[in-house]
Amino acid sequence: MKYQIGKTGRVVVARFEDGEDVLEKINDIVKKEDIRSAVFHLIGGMKKGKIVVGPEKEELPPTPVWKELGESHEVLGIGTLFWQGDEPKIHFHGAFGKKDMVKVGCLREISETFLVLEAVIVEIEGIKAQREFDPASGLTLLKL
């Protein structure tokens, strides 16, 4: 295990409107505000999304199992943000519910707001961390 200790910096509250790409807009905020490390929470609705719900088998590198949200879902989740080179890289896991069906997974690629979605981004100061590609897992992982 490796860890670092930081402290809370700025707090950003954002509201995303119907049809906005959530992952893209969070990236826009952190680039504009030069937030290098953060944790964030999302709550609201999404009408499109693409999530990874686990690997096919427990082996490295994993083959992801993808599910798509093709209609409105409630969403609640938490993510982290650290940079990979010159770009911020988001890692977000959430619960996505519609009627009696709930999916839990890692949101990637597509993330379109339904009606309204709120984010609270909490900057972490004093952390020297970044994301790097790990050839063994085939994933971009946190490096401390």
Block means of pLDDT (10 residues each) for the chain, 144 residues, are 97 98 98 98 97 95 94 98 97 97 95 97 97 93 96
Answer whether residue 9 is part of any domain.
Answer: no
Answer whether residue 5 is part of any domain.
Answer: no
Question: Dihedral (C-alpha) 20, 94, 49, 121: value to the nearest 10 degrees?
Answer: 20
What pLDDT is attached to residue 76?
Answer: 98
* Residues with Cβ within 8 Å of residue 80, at least 6 apart in sequence: 38, 39, 40, 90, 91, 92, 142
What pLDDT is attached to residue 98?
Answer: 97
Answer whether residue 4 is part of any domain.
Answer: no
Tokens 């709550």 label which residue?
43
What pLDDT is attached to residue 10?
Answer: 98
- φ/ψ region of 99 (left if φ > 0, alpha if ψ in -120 to 50, else beta) reads left
What pLDDT is attached to residue 6?
Answer: 98
Answer whether residue 126 is part of any domain.
Answer: yes
Q: Give phi and psi for 133, each to the nearest 5.
A: -70, 130
Count of the separate structural domains present in the chain? 1
Answer whether residue 34 is part of any domain.
Answer: yes
Answer whether residue 79 is part of any domain.
Answer: yes
Supply the CATH number for residue 90's domain.
Answer: 3.30.1330.80
- Burial (CB < 10 A; 0-12, 13-18, 19+), residue 40, is buried
Is this model's pTM higher than 0.85 or not? Answer: yes
Answer whether residue 8 is part of any domain.
Answer: no
Question: Dihedral (C-alpha) 46, 48, 52, 53: value to the nearest 10 degrees?
Answer: 60
Full residue range of the structural domain in which residue 32 is found = 15-143
R_g (Cα) of the chain, nearest Å: 15
- Residue 121's nearest CA partner among 79, 83, 84, 87 is 79
Q: Which two tokens stand for residue 87?
A: 């770009």
Answer whether residue 10 is part of any domain.
Answer: no
